[in-house]
Amino acid sequence: MGDALGNSGAYAGDISPREAWHILTETPAAQLLDVRTQAEWTYVGLPNLDGLGKKPALAEWQAFPDGARNPNFGAEAEASLARMGVTPGTPVVIICRSGARSRAAAIALTQRGYAQAFNIAGGFEGDHDENGHRGSVNGWKAEGLPWRQG
């Protein structure tokens, strides 16, 4: 059984940043997992969940600067989520820059027993605009959701 976006059950599905914010707001145990790199967290920014009394869980899907897949992602993600009190039955909304790494991470977490692993389509920065810039077309920042840099 798949959803309207063609997901075949490999993960809970794609959601918008606003839908992710709604889950985080309405479900106290729900958690955001950011799978970008340390460099992106530091220099581009992070979703700011302070108003919800939460902090993002962090686990790199790929390493910087070579982009190699992190072979320890599953264990690192589980450890980061566990520190936040997340269990496999908890909704986890997963974000990356534009939605590709987070989709792969949602599939990986689903395979590890997290049945409610959602991909945030558009990610943190979203797609490129007509000038080749991110952050204004779609994604967390373009939706005007809270974030901080540095």
Task: State residue 6's pLDDT score.
Answer: 44
Domain 13-148 has CATH 3.40.250.10: yes
What's the pLDDT score for residue 8? 55
Q: Give the C-alpha separation, 32 to 24, whole Å.
A: 7
Cα 77 to its chain centre, rounded Å, is 11
Please provide the average confidence, as pLDDT, over all residues in the chain: 92
Q: Is the pLDDT of residue 62 over 90?
A: yes
Q: What percent of the chain has pLDDT over 90?
A: 81
19 CB-contact burial (10 Å; exposed 0-12 / middle 13-18 / buried 19+) = middle
Assess whether pLDDT exceeds 90 at residue 27: yes
The per-residue pLDDT for range 68-89, each reduced to its tens digit, is 999 999 999 999 999 999 999 9
* Digit-coded pLDDT (tens) for 29-48: 999 999 999 999 999 999 99
Per-residue pLDDT reduced to its tens digit, 104-147: 999 999 999 999 999 999 999 988 888 888 887 789 999 999 99
